[in-house]
Amino acid sequence: MNEVVDHKPLLTHEVGSLDKPGWRVKAYAGKPLDDKDLEEARSWGERLQVPKYERLLDLLRHTPFTKEQKAELQRWSSLYAVRLEESAGLDVVYDGEQQRTEMYDWAVSHSNGFERRGSVRAFDNKYYSKAAVVGPISLGSPFHNAEFSYLVSVAEAELKIPVTGAYTIADWSFDERNRTPENLLLPAAERTRQRKAARRDFVLEVARNLIRPNLEALITLGARWIQVDEPGASTEADELDLFVDSFNASVEGLNAMFSTHLCFSDYNLFFPAIERMEHCRQYAVGFANYDSRELGTSDEERPGYQVIKKFRDLPYKPALGLGVLDIHSDFIESPELVRDRVLYAVKVFGDPNRIHVTPDCGLRTRSWKVAYEKLRNMTAGVRMARQQLGLPSTE
Amino acid sequence: MFSRAAHTDQDRNVLMVALAEQVLRPAIDAAVAAGAEVIHLEDPWLGYVGITREDWAPLTDALGILHRDLKATLAFHVYFGDAAPHIDQLLKLPVDAIGVDLVQTDVKALGTGWNKGLVAGVINGRSSILESPKDLVDVARHLADTVRPRELYLSSNCELGYLPTQVAEQKVQRLGEAARAVKELVSV
């Protein structure tokens, strides 16, 4: 995979999540399915040419589902998602987290040392069940192995496995390893020093004792490209060095290609901290959300992409996963718009090998119909860019 | 200072004063008419990002609009940051009380002999670890003895929306427990 990634210009891939089909969500929750759900399963099965999808339809007609049947339905959902991405023409695929609850809960559910504390808001009207770490952190059981093994068995394209990163897991958790509240009568500087030391210890414990063993298990199974998702990385501007240290502690010395996904932030904050993140071979970063929808390849016409120069200048020359699809909007980017965003990035980098093309972030906020159209136009735009750059076609 | 977070190409100080006049003051008047006795202005921007010297005057103007002839206590609460560098200026603002995030701010930096009330942010709204009522009482006594504010309010350091409801409820209960204990001490 390293060779594929390092030497394939304008490689296309997804970033992480996809919406879960209604039939999968309802079936798993034990809710009744209706004709609309069955039609959704049928029409996408037909459209994506999912092998033997009629078996899924048979299964969906026989409610209630046993635990084993629910697991089977999750695998069907995985298969559909992989086929959607392959059908859209992506070079590297994944199943959009169809077998996971969500990116935080899934990791915590398979870990030791955490206790649930209740729901808190993540963003907008989205909530998640936040946990506290109350004791030593360790891996309960490798939590992506079953998913990865299944995907290997069905994917025709190359695979990439996203894993939630240590900094984000720690940042989205409470630290109750020491339950003594702060003494507010102590000097603030001393309290800050103690808080920072505890925080560092906490984040690195998650990296070493939870994330790293899970990565090792995936690599043993044959995973070659692992994307470390860190949406929380820029939450605390003064902790970017800690984020970098946690990434390095998670992956250093392991034999796979590691990339990271950063989203929706002031990306200038990451510099110079990530100059030390040399084990990261690719940064998948969202830019379309900040960009104009006008065509063109000048600086003025591509305001959302001005910061990419900083990624270009990183000393270890990673690839940039160039976000070209706004995942917060149903607006379908035209192939021409994708083309121009890609051509602009290639012009800035001067090397198409260092540009990969992706959505800004996981597409779970969009319907499959919108996600599919966006991804198809993304790959069409990349074909146009290849042609314009005189690069060989991948088809 | 929410004018700082707005999407605008306009002068943010002009926007701040306009927000005070056209949005906040009518909202505050409605709240007071409905029976509100304390208006608690939350200002994380100042604590987290800071403020330039020339912005204090328009901030004073904006708060003056809110405070003029107000028949309620007006508190201006700075959080998500150390209030120590701003204490002298904060005490000149036309409000009745200043709120301080004591998780971030050194109690010694508060000085002494305040001419305003102090909203003491003693409950950590970002941590699930429960404070001890006894510790809270100790802090309150210390603040009453050293800072000597006109009034002392016990509060969380920031809003409690970052905590699960059950944790927030437990914290508020402990805050109430501490406040009752402090009142008993004062009345003795």
Helices A212-221 and A240-251, axial angle in degrees (round to 10): 40
Helices A145-154 and A67-88, axial angle in degrees (round to 10): 50
pLDDT at residue A20 greater than cutoff 70 = yes
B106: which chain A residues are within 8 Å (Cβ-Cβ)? 187-189
Instruction: Work out the pLDDT band at A237, boundaries 50, 70, 90.
Output: confident
B170: which chain A residues are within 8 Å (Cβ-Cβ)? none
Task: Count residue pairs from A and B with Cβ separation < 8 A.
Answer: 56
pLDDT at residue A1 greater than cutoff 50 = no
B142: which chain A residues are within 8 Å (Cβ-Cβ)? 185
The pLDDT tens digits of the residues spanning A283-303 come to 999 999 999 999 999 999 999
Q: How far apart (Å, rounded) are the C-alpha atoms in residues A174 and A152?
A: 35
pLDDT at residue A162 greater than cutoff 70 = yes
Q: What are phi and psi of B50, to 5 degrees?
A: 100, -170
Asked if the C-beta of A266 comes within 8 angstroms of chain B's C-beta atoms, the answer is: no
Q: Which of A130, A181, A188 sits opposite B82 (nearest CB)?
A: A188
Q: What is the pTM of this model?
A: 0.92
The pLDDT tens digits of the residues spanning A77-92 come to 999 999 999 999 999 9
B135: which chain A residues are within 8 Å (Cβ-Cβ)? 181, 183-184
Instruction: Work out the pLDDT band at A126, boundaries 50, 70, 90.
Output: confident
The pLDDT tens digits of the residues spanning A299-329 come to 999 999 999 999 999 999 999 999 999 999 9
Asked if the C-beta of B130 comes within 8 angstroms of chain A's C-beta atoms, the answer is: yes
Q: Which of A174, A184, A185 sits opposite B128 (nearest CB)?
A: A174
Do A181 and B132 make contact, defined as CB atoms within 8 angstroms? yes
Among B129, B131, B138, B141, the strongest candidate for a mutation testing the A interface, having the largest count of A CBs within 10 A, is B129
A-contacting residues in B 62-121 (Cβ below 8 Å): 82, 84, 102-109
Q: Report, as an integer, the average pLDDT of A268-277.
A: 96
Q: Which amino acid is at A236?
A: E
Q: Which of A118, A184, A187 sits opposite B102 (nearest CB)?
A: A184
Buried b (16+ CB within 10 A) or exposed e, A102-114: bbbbbbbbbbebb
CA distances from A278 to A74, A248, A317, A360, B28 (A): 36, 8, 9, 22, 53
Do B164 and A130 make contact, defined as CB atoms within 8 angstroms? yes
pLDDT at residue A2 greater than cutoff 60 = no
Do B122 and A184 make contact, defined as CB atoms within 8 angstroms? yes
Among A184, A186, A196, A202, the strongest candidate for a mutation testing the B interface, having the largest count of B CBs within 10 A, is A184
Write down the mean pLDDT value for chain A: 95
B-contacting residues in A 122-161 (Cβ below 8 Å): 130, 132
Asked if the C-beta of A237 comes within 8 angstroms of chain B's C-beta atoms, the answer is: no
Average pLDDT per consecutive 10 residues, chain B (188 residues; last block may be shorter): 84 95 98 98 94 96 98 97 97 98 97 97 97 97 97 96 96 97 84
Q: Which two tokens stand for residue A248?
A: 């390095």
- Could you tell me which chain B residue has the CA closest to the CA of A177? B129
Q: Which of A120, A181, A191 sits opposite B129 (nearest CB)?
A: A181
- Identify the pLDDT of residue A5: 57
B103: which chain A residues are within 8 Å (Cβ-Cβ)? 182, 184, 191
- Identify the pLDDT of residue A7: 60
How close is the nearest chain B Cα to the Cα of A119, in Å?
A: 5
Helices (H), A89-228: 105-109, 145-154, 166-171, 188-206, 212-221
Starting at the edge strand found earlier in the chain, the sheet holding A111-123 runs A111-123, A126-139, A174-175
Q: Which of A368, A349, A350, A371 has the alpha carbon at shortest distance from A360?
A: A371
B118: which chain A residues are within 8 Å (Cβ-Cβ)? none
